[in-house]
Amino acid sequence: MGVKQLFDLSGKVALITGGSRGLGLQMAFALGEMGAKVAIAARKPGELAEAERALTVAGIEAMAVVADLGDVAGGTVSRLVGAVMERFGRIDILINNAGATWGAPAEDYPLSAWDKVMTLNVDAPFLLAQEVGRQAMIPQGGGKIINIASIAGLGGNPPNLSMFTVAYNTSKGAVVNFTRALAAEWGRYNINVNAILPGFFPSKMSQGLLDRFSTQVIEATPLGRLGGDEDLMGAAVFLASDASRHVTGQMLAVDGGVSAT
C-alpha cells in the first residue's frame, strides 16, 4: 500500500461526539475530506443541524444525532450508536471529543459540578467506546478510537492563569490513562486507542480564558501562537487511518510545544 492510500478513509464511517462546533467539527471536516462518512453527535439541535449542512455542502456524507452525553443513564449511548449503525451499517472510527469544564477554586468546588464534568468527560467516552466496541468494532474485526484529552490532563494549570479547573484537569488525566488501559486490552481486537492532547485553541469552551490570558498563553507556547482551524486535522486523520496501524496507547499533544516546557 502506498503512503497516500494509508491515509485514505474512503468507505470508513466515523462517529464524532461534540461534532457540532469547535475542534470536533474541524476533525469531522478532516475525516470527511479524506473520504469518511461522518456522524456527528451533540446536545443542541440547532447547532448540530447547521454543522451537518456545512459538511454536506462540502460534499461529505454526514448525519447528525442529538444526544446529551451529560446524561448517560437512560440508554443515551446505545441509542446514539444504534442510530449510526442503522444509517451507515458500521463504525470504524470513534472520536470521543465532547467535553466541558466548570471553574471554581478547589476549596469551594461543589461535588455536583465535579460529577457533571466527570460524567461528560470520562463516563461518556468509556460508555461510547464500550458500545461502539460491542456493536461495531469487535464484530468488524478492528477500529480506531481517538480520545480528545488535553494537556490539562498532564498536570495542573499554570498558576498565573488562575483557571481553577480541578475537575477538568482530573477528568482529562483519567482520559489519558483510560486511553492506555483500553489500548492494552483491545489490541487483541485490532482496535487502536490513542489520544490527542490539544493545547490552547480558540473555541466556545476556551473563550473566557483566552479573552483574559491569550498574551500569557502565547508567550508560554514555544511556537508562539494559539491552535488554529487546521491544526488538528492532520493528527486526527493520522490516528483514524491505516497510517497509524502500529500506534496504540499513545498521547499526541498538538499544543505548539507547551507540554514540552
- Give the residues lining the site for ligand GCO (CB under 6 A): 101, 103, 150-152, 163, 165, 168, 200, 205-206, 208-209
Integer Cα distance of 21 and 44 in angstroms = 10
133 is a site residue for ligand NAD (CB under 6 A): no
Size of the site for ligand NAD (CB under 6 A): 28
236 is a site residue for ligand NAD (CB under 6 A): no
Q: Would residue 168 show up in a list of annotated catalytic residues for this protein?
A: yes
Pick the piece of the chain touching ligand NAD (CB under 6 A) from 96-104, 135-143, 183-191, 213-221.
96-104
120 is a site residue for ligand NAD (CB under 6 A): yes
97 is a site residue for ligand NAD (CB under 6 A): yes
Touching ligand NAD, residues 178-207 (CB under 6 A): 198, 200-201, 203-206
Q: Is the dihedral of CA 135, 18, 173, 118 positive or negative?
A: negative
By the criterion CB under 6 A, which residues form the site for ligand NAD? 17-18, 20-24, 42-44, 67-70, 97-100, 120, 148, 150, 198, 200-201, 203-206
Catalytically active residues are 168
